[in-house]
Amino acid sequence: MKADSPKHIGARIQRFEDVRLLSGAARYIDDIRLPGMLHCTFARAHTAHGTILEIDTSGLADLDYPTWVFTGKDTAGLSMKAHQDYPEMQYSEQPLLAEGKVRFVGEAVAAVLAEDAYKSEDAAEQLFIDCDPLPVVGTMAQARDASLPPLFDGWHSNVIVQRQMKGGDLEAAKAAAAHIIKRTYRNQRQAGVPMEGRGVVAHYNNADRVLTVWSSTQMPHLVRTYISEELDLPESRIRVVAPDVGGGFGVKGQVFGDEVLIAWLAMKTGRPVKWIEDRREHLIASIHARDHEHTLEAYVSADGRLLGLKADISVDNGAYSTYPFTSAGEPGMVGKVLPGPYDFQAYEATFRALATNKCSIGTYRGVARPSAVFSQERLMDDIAAELGLDPFEFRLKNIIREFPYKNVLGFTYDPGSYAESLELMQTLLADDVAAAKASHASDTTRVGVGIACFIEQTAHGTPDFTRRRTPIETGYIAARVEMAPDGTVTIDLGLQNHGQGLETTMAQVAADALGVLPSSVYVRHGDTLTTPYSVGTWGSRGGALGGGAVHVASLKIAEKLKAIAAHLMQTTPDEIELADGQAYMRSAEDRFIPISKLARAALRNVDQLPPGMLPGLEAEQRQDGPRDGTYANAVHAAVVEIDVPTGKMQLKRFVVVEDCGTILNPLVVDGQVRGGVVQGIGSAMFEHFVYDEECQPLTTSFADYLMPLAPEIPNIEVHHFETPTPLTPLGAKGLGEGGAIGPAAAIGNAVANALGVEVRETPLNANAIWHLSAHLRPAE
């Protein structure tokens, strides 16, 4: 009877949270309204680089309503400090409100408060910020130009940090190489753009001296810790709440100065204070992403074996270091992941972050890996073309097949399905490859097929963070599971759910361990008052580590339930099985006790407990990630059709073969993959944050900053391999970011295949495609 009970892990259960989200019942940051609340509007820098001469606030006096204004003089010394403990790294802080200088257009210079948001916005317009312009550092080349002054006093140059990582004997690899292939690849600057922007509300309760901060964040506990440190408040008296969060994608996976500032303003004014970011602010002043340049040099043997790789990696970091992943995080990640799924044992990467007068780079879905994989996989195709090899054949010749595999940097890869995924994709694409080949006789309509094969280190554990020396020291996720006297279950989860389906998948995990229905499990998250300390939801760790924590904690409760059941049925705990809301006796299946009755015994009729057992049904577990994380793998493929005379490209097909280990819920997995792919298509074809030579932003609304929209997206086919990892409790690997990592590379390769050219950069918009296809047009 129990053996054939459906298991909830792996079931296609529709998301519980969707009822709330789709019926308009969700409560987002802007829905929070408190009595006496003041609204904050930031006056922001119009100059990319300049010395603040004066902030003239006299215009506020003419207004017929009360206003409050604060500048960097009021918040002097309060700042975001995001330093990585590398001796080479130049230290800087971002003041909560600009002090002395502004360093990018959009930097917050003053906070203006009024009793409604229209008034504060009108009032902020009255401020006049007088700036004496300084020379602008606008490009990576300018940032490396020693003749331009550094952005910060005391710096020796605008190279924030430059480091190396290496493994094996690169000189020997070079000497043995029959082919040396060197290429430079670039990815454009992007914004992150969740559907809901950011926002903060803060309230200080003078009676019990508790500061409450609501923020649209992925990491409420880290916000709490930072506010505590910066404002010198006891962390026990700070509560941070992330309400429903309308998408984060990593943008909300950092602590921002405004989160500290709004809290400070609430304490300063004695009134609740609210700030809701508008789209323009989001685009120019939250965080940016990508903006990489990689020069790669591959050493390849005569028979097409990769022998070694040399990489030079630059990231245009913008002005400031973001917390907690810092300026070194983005370029360092490229250096770390470039070895990818291929077997070679000689490598050297030099990576650097460059300071410019632009919005700061932060984490955005994929974090450096979309750029790294673009370069890695474009290079693989460029090498294959030079050697006259088929792209699949060349990859299969070099793909890692035996696990665990220790890579050139010493990272150990757990088992995956690298070769199998490539082989399946090869089969799936056979007809498209033939059609592409046939189209190459045409100068007007070209079809191209491109693939991207990659791995993703996910669910990194504490040792990985220790190696990085960032302000974030650990990667564990905590869950506290509690059963109520009626047998229903509450999970207080250290993760914050902003679209991952965690309110459903975590319930599935607990349900299997406890023998109850997922619908009887209530998952709470995002409130530091109720949830155990954790680092938040980012880095593809929710399913793997959060799921692991819930599983282990639930098993602890299950053990106790079995002990109670065994006592009541006069048998031993190993004779008891929990399923379908009942505790069954294995040897006599007609004998069972409802789990609710066991719960009642544990919490109310405690006289029924076994001798010596304490009342209560709760357990907590902190699940850390493995030393090197667990490696998910995937192959993405794009089929494109290009109208050569106009440069218009259509995505005809997008296929994903992925392996994230144990699948908790296939609907959620497919949704995560597809959402990520759409964002990756945005990176490949549409999204481009553009600055002019003076570092004035040009793409400040959705009219100019082009997001991928439904008509441009084909059906995204998703195929799975399921190789459970031995490194997490459920065998699950991280999944959240993978979808976004492959598309730029797959589409880049498809364009290269279609046009018979090398593709060196994104975005591949109509203008770019037209310029790439010059050789197919008759000379004019």
Partner 1 sequence: MRPASFGYHKATDLAHALALLAEFGDDGRPLAGGQSLVPMMNLRLARPAHLVDINALPLTAIERRGDVLHVGALVRHHRYLSDPLIAAHFPAFLEAVHWIGHPTIRNHGSIGGSISHADPTAELPAICLLYDATIIASSTGGDRRIAARDFFLGAYVTALQPGEMVTAVEFPIPPAKSTGAFIELGERRGDFAIASVGVALQWSGRQITGAAVVCCGARLVPIRASEVENLLIGRQLDAPDAAAIGRRFANTIEPVSDHSGSSAYRKHLIGELTRRTIERACQQALETA
Distance of alpha carbon 235 from its chain centroid, rounded?
26
* Cis, bond preceding 763 (omega within 30 deg of 0): yes
Choice from 385, 613, 766, 776 touching partner 1 (CB under 8 A): 766
Looking at beta carbons only, is 11 or 706 nearer to partner 1? 706
Q: Is 701 in the site for partner 1 (CB under 8 A)?
A: yes
Looking at beta carbons only, is 521 or 747 nearer to partner 1? 747
Closest residue by Cα to residue 245 from 197, 192, 191, 193: 197
Looking at beta carbons only, is 161 or 681 nearer to partner 1? 681
Using CA atoms, how far residue 41 sits from 109, 112, 417, 696, in Å, is 11, 5, 51, 21
Looking at beta carbons only, is 586 or 777 nearer to partner 1? 777
Q: Is 195 in the site for partner 1 (CB under 8 A)?
A: no
- The whole-angstrom separation of Cα 144 and Cα 370 is 24
Looking at beta carbons only, is 314 or 699 nearer to partner 1? 699
Looking at beta carbons only, is 280 or 600 nearer to partner 1? 280
Nearest distance from residue 646's CB to partner 1, in Å? 6
Amino acid at the residue 757: V
- The whole-angstrom separation of Cα 39 and Cα 123 is 11
Looking at beta carbons only, is 1 or 690 nearer to partner 1? 690
Choice from 17, 169, 575, 712 touching partner 1 (CB under 8 A): 712
- The whole-angstrom separation of Cα 669 and Cα 632 is 13
Choice from 497, 634, 765, 772 touching partner 1 (CB under 8 A): 765
Residue showing tokens 């190459």? 440
Looking at beta carbons only, is 118 or 128 nearer to partner 1? 118
Residue showing tokens 């998408």? 247
Helix H, strand E, coil C: the string for 81-98 is ECCCCCCCCCCCEEECCC
- Provide the strand spans (E) within 57-158: 68-71, 79-81, 93-95, 101-102, 108-114, 128-133
Choice from 504, 630, 699, 728 touching partner 1 (CB under 8 A): 699
Nearest distance from residue 366's CB to partner 1, in Å? 22
Nearest distance from residue 264's CB to partner 1, in Å? 24
Q: Is 234 in the site for partner 1 (CB under 8 A)?
A: no
Nearest distance from residue 703's CB to partner 1, in Å? 7
Binding mask 609-648 for partner 1 (x = CB under 8 A): ------------------------------------xxxx
Nearest distance from residue 258's CB to partner 1, in Å? 16
Looking at beta carbons only, is 94 or 120 nearer to partner 1? 120
Binding mask 66-105 for partner 1 (x = CB under 8 A): ----------------------------------------
Q: Is 386 in the site for partner 1 (CB under 8 A)?
A: no
Q: Is 154 in the site for partner 1 (CB under 8 A)?
A: no
Q: Is 170 in the site for partner 1 (CB under 8 A)?
A: no
- The whole-angstrom separation of Cα 773 and Cα 777 is 7
Q: Is 442 in the site for partner 1 (CB under 8 A)?
A: no
Amino acid at the residue 10: G
Choice from 35, 156, 711, 775 touching partner 1 (CB under 8 A): 711
Closest residue by Cα to residue 325 from 188, 244, 222, 198: 222
Helix H, strand E, coil C: the string for 188-216 is EEEECCCCCCCEEEEEEECCCCEEEEEEC
Looking at beta carbons only, is 341 or 743 nearer to partner 1? 743
Looking at beta carbons only, is 176 or 706 nearer to partner 1? 706
- The whole-angstrom separation of Cα 539 and Cα 408 is 23
- The whole-angstrom separation of Cα 602 and Cα 100 is 63
- Whether the Cβ atoms of residue 491 and residue 617 lie closer than 8 Å to each other: no
Q: Is 779 in the site for partner 1 (CB under 8 A)?
A: no
- Distance in Å from the first CA to the final CA of the chain: 78
Nearest distance from residue 127's CB to partner 1, in Å? 14
- The whole-angstrom separation of Cα 169 and Cα 171 is 6
Looking at beta carbons only, is 34 or 707 nearer to partner 1? 707
Closest residue by Cα to residue 395 from 384, 382, 409, 410: 384
**Opening angle at CA 57, ends 56 and 62, nearest 5:** 130
Angle, helices 743-755/369-387, rounded to nearest 10 degrees: 30
In the three-class reduction of DSSP (H, G, I as helix; E, B as strand; rest coil), residue 289 is classed as strand
Looking at the DSSP bridge assignments, the partners of residue 716 are 654
Looking at beta carbons only, is 517 or 766 nearer to partner 1? 766
Nearest distance from residue 318's CB to partner 1, in Å? 18
Tokens of 429: 């694409």
Distance of alpha carbon 248 from its chain centroid, rounded?
8
Looking at beta carbons only, is 182 or 648 nearer to partner 1? 648
Q: Is 146 in the site for partner 1 (CB under 8 A)?
A: no
Nearest distance from residue 281's CB to partner 1, in Å? 8
How many residues of this chain bind partner 1 (CB under 8 A)? 33
- Whether the Cβ atoms of residue 308 and residue 346 lie closer than 8 Å to each other: yes
Q: Residue 778 half-sphere exposure, CB side, CA atoms within 13 Å?
A: 1
Residue showing tokens 């073309």? 385
Binding mask 251-280 for partner 1 (x = CB under 8 A): ---------------------------xxx
Site for partner 1 in 658-697 (CB under 8 A): 685-686, 688, 690
Binding mask 107-136 for partner 1 (x = CB under 8 A): ----------xx--xx--x-----------
Residue showing tokens 């299946």? 589
Looking at beta carbons only, is 74 or 712 nearer to partner 1? 712
Q: Is 706 in the site for partner 1 (CB under 8 A)?
A: yes
Q: Is 206 in the site for partner 1 (CB under 8 A)?
A: no
Footprint of partner 1 (CB under 8 A) = 117-118, 121-122, 125, 278-280, 645-648, 685-686, 688, 690, 698-699, 701, 703-704, 706, 708-709, 711-712, 765-767, 770-771, 777, 780
